[in-house]
Structure 1
């Protein structure tokens, strides 16, 4: 019988709280969304929320399968998440796209940060992370494409300046680590 270590628990716990927080923030965005393309983004947020909820369940169940105790209590999530707090009140659709994409990439950054330790101890658990990473990055890319308008943006000095600043910092336009 394999039993995960405290290191494995700590690593998976970091992923778990970020996924739970992504789920909650996705619902906050879903409820307070305003602006153009409302309906499509409203439905897309449901897809992200459902995925985050399923992913958090998968992580917690994997933890239990290797005899580790997940902690998804509100106080634990709030104190341990790496995600920035979501703004209060109504939020414009274009801003929501950037906010949610940034948070999805924050979760994948957490997953990548713990990946090697997880893989060293338990490749099967690392495989769980792999499948979640693949889907979450796909969702982030597809959602982020909503705000990208290459021809229009290439004419905008503000956009060019923002993107150049982000690139100089090694980030993409929403603050995620650039490839």
Structure 2
């Protein structure tokens, strides 16, 4: 079996790899939450939120792919297996059954906010270890915060 070689030192690669793997788990989990809400949302804002959730999932899946490819570039095999996501995912998510539109908005604001907070910690951790990974995490954080803002704008109580 061929192993990919990294251009950065092992210690830096491990720091970046941990940040990337944890981010991959968060992103893949958010994409599943987004689809779960998309399929089960009910309420007077059904259509607009249904479409907004699909847009979110597309953005999140693209970011997950970029994160996984960065890990592979560093010689670290990304792990997006269902059992990995199920065991490691720690962000807020929906309960089973139908999801009221207001509850979906609140959940997405909370989940995206928690993910952005976790990403900011990883940004700090990768600053010296791998500025390229840090830059990637910064751009993903900006997108998550933008998506959070878009959901929060659905509910004025979430913008305070």
Are 2:48 and 1:43 equivalent residues in the alignment? no
1:83 CA displacement: 0.9
Q: For the Cα contact (< 8 Å) 2:122–2:137, is it kept in 1?
A: no
Q: For the Cα contact (< 8 Å) 1:9–1:69, is it kept in 2?
A: no
Tell me the TM-score normalised to structure 1 length: 0.80
Q: Which has the larger radius of gyration?
A: 1
Alignment partner, residue 2 of structure 1: 7
Alignment partner, residue 141 of structure 1: 149
Are 2:73 and 1:65 equivalent residues in the alignment? yes
Are 2:18 and 1:13 equivalent residues in the alignment? no
Gaps of 5+ in 1: 150-172
1:5 CA displacement: 2.2
1:136 CA displacement: 1.2
Once residues 42 and 122 of structure 1 are traced to their aligned partners in structure 2, the CA distance between those partners, rounded to angstroms, is 37
Q: Which runs of 4+ in 1 moved over 6 A?
A: none
Q: For the Cα contact (< 8 Å) 1:21–1:77, is it kept in 2?
A: yes
Tell me the TM-score normalised to structure 2 length: 0.89
Alignment partner, residue 126 of structure 1: 134
Q: For the Cα contact (< 8 Å) 1:33–1:92, is it kept in 2?
A: yes
SS of equivalent to 1:121: coil
Alignment partner, residue 25 of structure 1: 33
Partner residue of 1:116 out of 107, 121, 124: 124
CA RMSD of aligned residues (A): 1.7
1:44 CA displacement: 0.4
1:92 CA displacement: 0.4
Gaps of 5+ in 2: 1-5
